[in-house]
Amino acid sequence: MDRAMTVVPTDEIIDLGGPGAFSRGTAYANQGRVLRAVWYGNEQQLVGDVVGSSGLYRTMIEFEDFEDGEPGEIVSTDCSCPVGGDCKHCVALLLFNNTRTPEQDDSGGHRLPGRQAPDPVWKQQLDRVVEASNRTSSVPDTPLALGFELHRPPNRRYFQPQTPARLKVAEIPDEPEPQVHIRPLVPGSKSNWIKGQAGWHWFTTRMNSARFDSEQFEWFFRLATLDDSLGYRGYSSSSTTITLDDFASTFLWDLLAQTADLDIPLVSTDRQITIRLGERAQFHIDITSRSEDLVVSPEVSIDDRPVPLETVRPIGNAGVHSLALTGKSRAILTLAPLSTRLSPGQQAMLSNTSATEIPASAHEDFFDRVLPLLRPPRGQGQDSIISSDDSVEVPVERQPHLNLQVSYDTTTGRGSAATGRGGSAKETPKTSARLEWSWTYYSPKRMYPLVAVQSEFADPQHSRDSKFEQAVLQKVRGIQPDAARTESATLTGIEVAKFTTRILPQLYDLDDVEVTITGQDGPPEFRELEAAPSITVRTSANDDSDWFDLGIDVTIEGHEIPFVTLFKALATDETHLMLDDGSYFSLDNSAFDKLRELLAEAASLDGFKPENPQLSRYQAGLYEDLEELADDVAEDPRWSGLMDGLRQIDSIAEVAVPDTVNAQLRQYQVEGFRWLAFLHEHNLGGILADDMGLGKTLQTLALVDHDRGQREEPGPAFLVVAPTSVVANWVLEARKFTPHLNVTAVAETAKKRKSPVAEVAAGADIVVTSYAVMRLDIDEFAGHDWAGVIFDEAQFMKNNQAKTHRAARRIAAPFRLAITGTPMENSLTDVWSLAAITAPGLFPAAKQFKEDYVKPIESGDDPDRMTRLRSRLRPFMLRRTKDLVAADLPAKQEQVLTVELEPQHRRLYDTVLQHERKQVLGLLGDFEKNRFAIFRSLTLLRMLALDPGIVADHADSGIGSSKLTVLMEYLNEITAEGHRALVFSQFTSYLRRVAAELEAGGIDFVYLDGSTTDRTKVIEAFRQGSAPVFLISLKAGGIGLTLTEADYVFLLDPWWNPAAESQAIDRTHRIGQTRNVMVYRLVAEHTIEEKVLALQAKKAELFTALMDNGSAFNEVISAADIKGLLEA
């Protein structure tokens, strides 16, 4: 059976679009909205035209082929409506198909045997063109006309006789309020227009569109939909006619203007009445003066011709009609759109057929209260109020405006803005300003809040003009973006001054903004100072020789800015500052930015108070930056002299090296001595950080000798604190270079030596002790007077949490010197630790130092911070490198010897590496907690790279040391040529393996490690003897030794602290060396040693950054560093 001839089950139709679409589609089918249905058998498609809410929609439903004799199911749907398919139009078409036989295509609507190929697309398109043409030619061409009738108003009183509704021409004079009704008309048999069965219900849907001319039907359809009195489907009791007098839509006039083009005649059902359509009507209210009265006359003109007022009635608020008799039995009904819509007041005035006379006593009330009601709503046309004879000056309609009411309030209280130079607070006026925004409209005058509610736009008479308001607000916010965002806002402090001086004058200039000031006579007097600040820095001495008073005077346009006030404003990141005279200025200035930075640094230092700012003599770098910022400087002469010496070593007055020094100092050593003498003279401390081997000890001894020579009477001794291994060397050096000075060593604690420090120091010029003895007997050392305290190898105090560091800070002395070739070994905090001892006050507390310097430098967020650190440190640290000051020092050549592990050694190392790597990587999550276990694993790998025999678990493996084999080859060669070598290792167990190998090879050697009891004897044995090899543990012999007798250095195992290795190398590469020095680093290939070497380079860059103006990387060994050591 043909699918198109089969009823589609209701359940299938419901499933197609759902219950909602089914319900609406059923209504469409019942209303006859399906105008056409055609079955295309070849394509198994049902195609139809369905009248929708917005036009005619093409609807298509495609089915599957028949299967086993049963109809196919719906495959897809398509509709030109906005839904696109599975819609109510598809439902209506299917229901239509169920009740009627659709048209069929050429196949007769039956499916042909077999599957026929569909027609080509071009043929389908052409067929549809033909079908559309056939349908158009078959539509009945029934013309339509718009009929007009006059009616009496409906009688709404009970028990009153009902009079006929229709009004004849002769009855017009007796009816004061005739109404105009309109209705559709169709042609009659006598070439006339008749009512017939025509009614507005025909045009409330498009179901009947096929009965009429399509364009005319569309016109009537649109007119019907514009009338509120008609129901959507045309079943209202008033569907026969539409009352034109109450027609509200302004689109009526657009439709009436189209009637001529659509051949829709405007005819009256009463042949005695002629219908005319005017182009434009105008309404005016003419106000003239008669004696003392005002005469108010409404006037209407149509097409610029006045019409009698008694003939005019409004059509809605957008048009009028005039019904004028042209004789006893004929009349003309003229309709015209108004150029301006009528307000309710104008509509009421239009009902008056005569002028209204207003006595003089009511003039003011008329102009204030009534006249605004007679004007059109805002934005809806030109003003309709005139005075035809100019006898009355009609008030101009006022534009709405935005209101700003500013209420100033001034109270008196204590405030920082008026704090005096000395810091005492004054009674300061505090001004606040409350801003309140609103709108004022006229015709009639009314007030609205800033933000409208929807109802205020809905009332046509009292509506607000949203476009106007937005335009005004845009102008206001162009001046101040945050203005008029809320109904009210309160400004305080500097915001009041900024608003009053910057914003308020511009708001005054806006025509659409009315500003009102309340609370006082006018705005307070504020003045913005816009000139750049002038800064003067002053210093003056006070009773405390360690401090100088600091004055920072800031003036702007002659106004002196109180320093305490400025300090607090900068410290709290204020944007502006107000003075007590109403003047204010912006702090957004490069000078203030720099001053804020410097004052923040000063505030972090001990002793700085904004009420009484002072500078310590150690804050030379900070002062130098202040001086650079200042426009003028007034320095105390004593401060100037101190700054000159600290800034540039060349400016220090020449001081002769004592003749009693038993050495000829080189030029850079003389300069170093003078720098030390300058610090000593001014009771300042410092850090002598020359490269290792440049004679720091000699320069220091020259200073001590200088001090002794300056004294008329013997004074307290200098205390020298050094590592235990160096104490004896200090005594030897002092006796060598200054034999006339009394040098004594305190090598034992009080319990062992049985004598107090004071007794030992009596009569001595130099007392030398170790860090260990100092720490244990700190009460004695701290309780004794010293001429100065000198910390040699001061890196021993780098841990500021250690007892040694704390003990060192307790020792009081007018001169404090740290001597070290490596002022920073691992961390920038090493520098803080040394400065805290030698130059207290130079830097803030350790925690603040990390925030100010360590973190910004580590992260790279502030590259300039390293520059500041160097500038602060530079006056109190003197460092010269060998390359710069010792041109005659022999060359030093360094070479890395890569050692390939033997196969057995390699397999063992890789096996252990895999196990340790897995373990360490698992521990890195809590680095601090697992630090000991992590470093144990790293140490195991380092020892295994050296020699499996020194690792307990593999001592019996029988695997030899690949590195030892290479070392012996080199030592055999160089000793045979008469050279001498220093051999360093951190592992004494490995040094003993080397010693055993040397003995087996018949090579003489000297041995030194931490267990050696008589270091001096061992050292002299190498210096004075002939042993070609000196085996030294890195920790025991890396400092305090001068071994220029050797010219070869072997480093058997690298360490991540490059300074430790440099110290070892400099035991021989130092002043006094006459031969080139060869340095060999033995590194096991593809082991942790190669990673350690890379880490050395990384850490060396940080040291270069601090000392030599390089770039910095991370400061200490971190979890990331360790992870890198274990990467494959």
For residue 1, the model assigns a pLDDT of 35
> Among 757, 611, 617, which residue's Cα sits nearest to residue 682?
617
Quick one: tokens of 625?
């930056």
Q: What is the pLDDT averaged over residues 406-413?
A: 80
894 forms beta bridges with: 1079
Report how far apart, in Å, the C-alpha atoms of 126 and of each of 42, 102, 108, 611 are: 16, 20, 19, 98
Out of 552-561, 767-776, 850-859, 1109-1118, give the one with best mean pLDDT: 767-776
For residue 401, the model assigns a pLDDT of 92
Does pLDDT of 671 surpass 80? Answer: yes
Q: What is the pLDDT averaged over residues 1104-1127?
A: 49
449 forms beta bridges with: 438
For residue 404, the model assigns a pLDDT of 94
CA 868/CA 548 separation, integer angstroms: 22
CA 1014/CA 55 separation, integer angstroms: 115
CB 97, CB 4: distance < 8 Å? yes
Reported confidence tier of residue 378, pLDDT bands at 50, 70, 90: low
CA 518/CA 433 separation, integer angstroms: 10
For residue 111, the model assigns a pLDDT of 33
Helix/strand/coil for 343: coil
Does pLDDT of 419 surpass 90? Answer: no
CB 691, CB 880: distance < 8 Å? yes
For residue 138, the model assigns a pLDDT of 44
How many whole angstroms from its chain centre is CA 866?
A: 27
> Among 838, 800, 880, 844, which residue's Cα sits nearest to residue 686?
838
2-11, 323-332, 1079-1088, range with the lowest pLDDT: 2-11
For 737-775, give one letter per residue: b (16+ CB within 10 A) or e.
Answer: bbeebbbbbbbebbeeeeeebeebbeebbbbbbbbbbbb
What 8-state DSSP symbol labels residue 791? E
Q: 680: buried, middle or exposed (CB in 10 Å: 19+, 13-18, 0-12)?
A: buried
Residue 686: in which H helix or E strand, if any? Answer: strand 686-688
Reported confidence tier of residue 1111, pLDDT bands at 50, 70, 90: very low
Q: Name all contacts of 26-29 with Cβ < 8 Å and 24+ positions apart.
A: 26/91, 26/92, 26/95, 28/88, 28/89, 28/91, 28/92, 29/91, 29/92, 29/95, 29/96, 29/99
169: left (phi over 0), alpha (psi -120 to 50) or beta: alpha
What 8-state DSSP symbol labels residue 1073? -
Reported confidence tier of residue 462, pLDDT bands at 50, 70, 90: low
> Among 380, 304, 376, 305, which residue's Cα sits nearest to residue 347?
376
Q: Are strands 816-819 and 788-792 parallel, antiparallel or unpaired?
A: parallel
For 262-289, give one letter per residue: b (16+ CB within 10 A) or e.
Answer: eebebbbbbeebebeebeebbbbbbbbe
Reported confidence tier of residue 743, pLDDT bands at 50, 70, 90: very high
Contacts of 316 (CB under 8 A, 6+ apart): 246, 247, 248, 249, 250, 252
What pTM does this model have? 0.51
CB 1088, CB 935: distance < 8 Å? no
Does pLDDT of 658 surpass 90? Answer: yes
The larger pLDDT score, comparing residue 1095 to residue 561, is at 561
For residue 114, the model assigns a pLDDT of 32
CA 1089/CA 1052 separation, integer angstroms: 10
CB 407, CB 500: distance < 8 Å? no
The larger pLDDT score, comparing residue 698 to residue 1070, is at 698
Reported confidence tier of residue 1073, pLDDT bands at 50, 70, 90: low
Does pLDDT of 941 surpass 90? Answer: no
For residue 1110, the model assigns a pLDDT of 37
Reported confidence tier of residue 863, pLDDT bands at 50, 70, 90: confident
Please identify which residue in the block is written with the tokens 């060349």: 650
* pLDDT tens-digit series, residues 48-103: 888 887 677 889 998 887 655 455 788 889 998 888 889 999 999 988 888 765 45
For residue 420, the model assigns a pLDDT of 37
Helix/strand/coil for 100: coil
For residue 1078, the model assigns a pLDDT of 83
CA 964/CA 855 separation, integer angstroms: 43
Q: What is the pLDDT averaged over residues 994-1003?
A: 91
Please identify which residue in the block is written with the tokens 């790293």: 938
Quick one: tokens of 890?
């022999």
CA 828/CA 1086 separation, integer angstroms: 31
Does pLDDT of 437 surpass 80? Answer: yes
Does pLDDT of 945 surpass 90? Answer: no
For residue 232, the model assigns a pLDDT of 41
Q: What is the pLDDT averaged over residues 779-785?
A: 93
* pLDDT tens-digit series, residues 564-587: 888 888 888 888 888 888 888 888
Does pLDDT of 1012 surpass 60? Answer: yes
For residue 1057, the model assigns a pLDDT of 66
CB 52, CB 89: distance < 8 Å? yes
Q: What is the pLDDT averaged over residues 1053-1063?
A: 71
Percentage of the chain exceeding pLDDT 70: 81
* pLDDT tens-digit series, residues 380-394: 556 678 888 888 888
For residue 413, the model assigns a pLDDT of 56
CB 1037, CB 1012: distance < 8 Å? no
Domains assigned to the chain: 3-138 (no CATH), 145-277 (no CATH), 281-386 (no CATH), 401-525 (no CATH), 529-645 (no CATH), 652-885 (3.40.50.10810), 892-1126 (3.40.50.300)
Q: What is the pLDDT averaged over residues 670-680?
A: 90
Look over the chain and give the mean of its residue pLDDT values, rounded to a whole number. Answer: 80
Reported confidence tier of residue 544, pLDDT bands at 50, 70, 90: low
Reported confidence tier of residue 119, pLDDT bands at 50, 70, 90: low
Q: What is the pLDDT averaged over residues 970-987?
A: 86
The larger pLDDT score, comparing residue 1095 to residue 967, is at 967
830-844, 852-866, 918-932, 950-964, range with the lowest pLDDT: 918-932
Q: Are strands 534-541 and 547-556 parallel, antiparallel or unpaired?
A: antiparallel
Sign of CA dihedral 500, 506, 508, 513: negative
Give a three-class secondary structure readout of 210-244.
Answer: HHCCHHHHHHHHHHHHHCCCCCCCCCCCCCCCEEC
* pLDDT tens-digit series, residues 498-516: 998 899 999 999 999 999 9
CB 245, CB 314: distance < 8 Å? yes
> Among 528, 533, 622, which residue's Cα sits nearest to residue 579?
528
For residue 944, the model assigns a pLDDT of 87
Reported confidence tier of residue 1047, pLDDT bands at 50, 70, 90: confident
Does pLDDT of 108 surpass 70? Answer: no
